[in-house]
Amino acid sequence: MLALEQSKTPAIAVRGLAKTFGAGETRVEALRGIDLEVPRGQFVAVMGPSGSGKSTLLHLIGGLDRPTTGSVQIGGNDCDNLDDDALALVRRRQIGFVFQTFNLLDVLTALENVALPLVIDGATQAAANERALAAMHAVGIEHRASHRPTELSGGEQQRVAVARALVTEPLVLLADEPTGNLDTAHGDQVMQLLRQLVDERGQTIFMVTHDPSHAVAADRLILLRDGMMVDERQLARDGEARRALLAQGVAPR
């Protein structure tokens, strides 16, 4: 019964979210009251011009920053009043991050990078490695486990980053321009991987992107402008519909 209720709770719920930077003349309103719910298993893409507040929204949802006003719930749990340690636990267990610049630690091997969130959570290195290998297998990068990030291509590094994001089986995977540093072929591969995660594992993904060709891989598209949500639509799942969407010039680029 509880599990059923939990499954009905949205993975992400955002209410009246606002974020202001600076004060006086330098005051910038990055977000101006965003309301948003993301059901479990949905793939959401957020687009918008530079400065529209996409990354800020992602940072607030991911607990990397705190809102000026408004609230963020992850899996029905309010994150607003959590102290720093509790917020770290939310990031550790319920959120997985994929960054544009991969953010892998150069001093660790790919396997150790993937295992890191588990090690931080107190798992033994052996147990963490086992799960990390499984995560790497899931994203097709296990053959590069013993390599250092500097020895991997951009696409491979991002796969490792995705594996790291998935290793704790988080409720939400947050991706910040995950293809921004990749060439088209590798970018497409990463997007296929993300799509696959949603389709096969029911993974909730919240992705910020500039690229409309990658945004159409999502189930839902949110458009931001000047810190406000200006459009929101469900995306058709067939290729024809997506091509139509692209033709309409959804992407504000």
**Which residues make up the interface to another protein (CB under 8 A)?**
59, 62, 64-65, 84-85, 88-93, 97, 99, 103-108, 112, 116-117, 119-122, 124-125, 164, 168
- The nearest distance, CB 124 to another protein, in angstroms, is 8
| Nearest distance from C-beta of residue 107 to another protein, angstroms | 4
Instruction: Confirm if 17 and 29 have CB atoms less than 8 A apart.
Output: no
Residues with Cβ within 8 Å of 242's Cβ and at least 6 positions away in sequence, in order, are: 216, 235, 236
Give the separation between CA 47 and CA 68, rounded to whole angstroms.
22
**C-beta of 125 vs 192, nearer to another protein:** 125
C-alpha to C-alpha distances, 50 to 76, 157, 205, 233, 253, nearest whole angstrom: 30, 25, 21, 20, 9
Contact 135, 164 (CB under 8 A): yes
Helix (H) and strand (E) counts for the chain? 9, 10
Q: Which is nearer to another protein, 48 or 170 (CB)?
A: 170
Q: How far is the CB of 61 from another protein (least distance, A)?
A: 13
Strands (E), 183-237: 204-208, 220-225, 228-234
CB 127, min distance to another protein, A:
11
Cβ–Cβ under 8 Å, residues 215 and 209: yes
62 versus 227: smaller Cβ distance to another protein: 62
State the minimum distance, in angstroms, from the CB of residue 121 to another protein: 7
- In the complex, the smallest distance separating the C-beta of residue 93 from another protein, rounded to whole angstroms, is 7
Residue 115 or residue 193: which is nearer to another protein going by CB? 115
Specify the residue for token string 């400065």.
51
Give the nearer residue to another protein in terms of CB position, either 62 or 75. Answer: 62
Query: Judged by CB, which is closer to another protein: 5, or 85?
Result: 85
> In whole angstroms, how close is the CB of 125 to another protein at the nearest point?
6
* C-alpha separations of 47 from 69, 215, 253 in Å: 22, 8, 9
User: 116 vs 246, which CB is nearer to another protein?
Assistant: 116
Indicate the SS3 state at residue 138.
helix
Query: What SS3 state is found at 98?
Result: strand
